[in-house]
Amino acid sequence: MRRGSPARRRCSSRAFVIVLAMLALGANACSDGGSDASKASSSSTTSPGRVRLIAPNGLRGVLDRERSARGKSSTTTTTTVPPTTTTAVPLPPFPVAQLTQTFVDASRSAPARNGATAQPPRAITTTIYYPASLAPTPENPTPPAVSAGGFPLVVFAHGYEIDAASYATLLRDIATGGYIVAAPDFPGTSTAYPGGAVRDDSLNEPGDISFVITSMLQVAQQAGPLQGAINPNAIGVNGQSDGGVVATATGWNTCCQDPRIKAGAIYTGATFAFEGEWFPPGSPPIMFVHATADEINGYGASTSMFDRAQSPKYLLTIEGGSHLEPYVDPPWEPQVAAATVAFFDQYLKGDPSAAARLATVGSQPGYTLQQG
């Protein structure tokens, strides 16, 4: 049989390659076309420059939309409000004072942002909320902390393209419960700094959390309102949205696991972007909090993490809600704060009454609590 000409063979080869490419594209489209929940709950690594994020367009606009939607209508599925009869579990009545520190890491680079080049040092402005021995006044804004035995330290990770101050009510409520809360503004992703956010710098944020822990322990050894106020053996982390991803990586991924972290509360987080094993054996206790109507990061992200995490683990479900507002606005925020304090009381303070208080939050109308 006569063979086809070289030109016809080349044409056939090109056609075969094109068909294979089209099939590959179709397969990719199918594998990437799942729900937001399934996307958020899978593990993956992303090359720098296009790091995968929960909220790549930033959280400031998300919060504005959520608040606007609830102001217009209380019946939308993404902003369901629990009944007004819901009451928060009382928190310890510590007055809270606030101060700001800038921690400078000379060993790591700041991101290229606002026209600056990427180079050391890396400065991390951190807002600190702490239980004070007396209520702050204009004349004495930073009274000494209540330091009997030292308080646990909790480091909070904010979401992408928003600042730590946006969560101030939640962070104050946690501090009121007897915690020193350090809330860094991450150099690459916080709106507290000028210039657009640097997406791939989120990969450096577990290092920021660990550096803030080290710096806070040093502050507690120096003269000042926090001298002697931190228990170095009782350290927790919490974070929301992409900050939840970062906080989870810092305590529950072999890529970045800081052994000083003893417990964590993760608000609408996920597991991706970081290499390593998630939730390895021996991981510390963890609580996930997620709203069922989260419009940015599907509820399945937290159910997946809960299924894979080591015990002890908890999942606090908010019926309805949205992505950000439940963690910063009433009526949800007081409940989230109460649950967070109860969870940390159990695992950072060893408080025997904490489990019952956490269960009380989970039994409120509009909330459920799972334990494993």
Contact call for residues 197 and 188 (beta carbons, < 8 A):
yes
Three-state SS at 359: helix
pLDDT, residue 53, reads 86
pLDDT, residue 149, reads 66
Find residue 267's DSSP bridge partners: 240, 289
89 contacts: CB under 8 Å, gap ≥ 6: 335, 338, 339, 342, 357, 360, 361
pLDDT, residue 190, reads 97
Q: Is the pTM of this model over 0.85?
A: no
Of 326, 331, 358, nearest to 177 (Cα)? 358
Q: Which helix (H) or strand (E) holds 29?
A: helix 6-31
What one-character DSSP code corresponds to residue 144?
P
Q: In the chain, where are the structural domains located?
A: 59-371
Contact call for residues 293 and 82 (beta carbons, < 8 A):
no
At 4, the amino acid letter reads G
Q: How far apart are CA 141 and CA 143, in angstroms?
A: 6
pLDDT, residue 64, reads 76
- Token readout for 219 is 């502050």
Mean pLDDT (10-residue bins), the chain, 372 residues: 42 39 36 33 41 84 78 41 40 85 97 93 98 93 83 97 97 96 98 95 97 98 95 98 98 98 98 96 98 96 98 98 96 97 98 97 97 98
Contact call for residues 199 and 50 (beta carbons, < 8 A):
yes
pLDDT, residue 26, reads 37
Q: How far apart are CA 329 and CA 345, in angstroms?
A: 23
Q: What's the CATH code, domain 59-371?
A: 3.40.50.1820
pLDDT, residue 147, reads 65
